[in-house]
Amino acid sequence: MSGNELFSDPDHTALLLVDIQPDFMAGGPLATANGDAILPGVRRLMEARPCGVMVATQDWHPPGHVSFASSHADRTPFETIEVHGHEQVLWPDHCVQGTAGAELVPGLPWDHADLILRKGCDPRVDSYSG
């Protein structure tokens, strides 16, 4: 499948590339099982550009983000606490602004993206989705 079969009307479709970053790949602090396996297919789609718009999201946390376990005394990753009246999972430090783990995975044609949306920038608020 070239990718074009997935998009029957390219002028009215978008390719969303969500958080394809080293910190979510093998060896990263929040690695997704077999996350690297998507990279060849992502590359093919990006190069074929079978859509009208291509948007990437990028987790981009400041140091000391509220979602980091390290920001809370005596807490460990994956514990939950209450923050601003809501349950908050505490994550290992990840995708910290300016670090290699926060960059978009190298080797993909990111210059093809129409927009790269950085999220998670407010140190007081966790954000899970672009």
Q: For the domain that residue 54 is a member of, what is the CATH number?
A: 3.40.50.850
Give every CB contact of residue 62 below 8 A, 6+ residues apart in sequence.
Answer: 96, 97, 121, 123
Full pLDDT tens readout for the chain, 130 residues: 455 566 678 888 999 999 999 999 999 999 999 999 999 999 999 999 989 999 999 999 999 999 999 999 999 999 999 999 999 999 999 999 999 999 999 999 999 999 999 999 999 988 777 7
Its domain, for residue 111, covers: 4-64+93-119
Residue 98 lies in a domain: yes
Q: Which of 66, 101, 98 is nearest to 80 (CA)?
A: 66
Domain membership flag for residue 8: yes
Domain count, the chain: 1
Give CA–CA dist 56/38, Å, rounded: 15
CB 60 within 8 A of CB 125: no
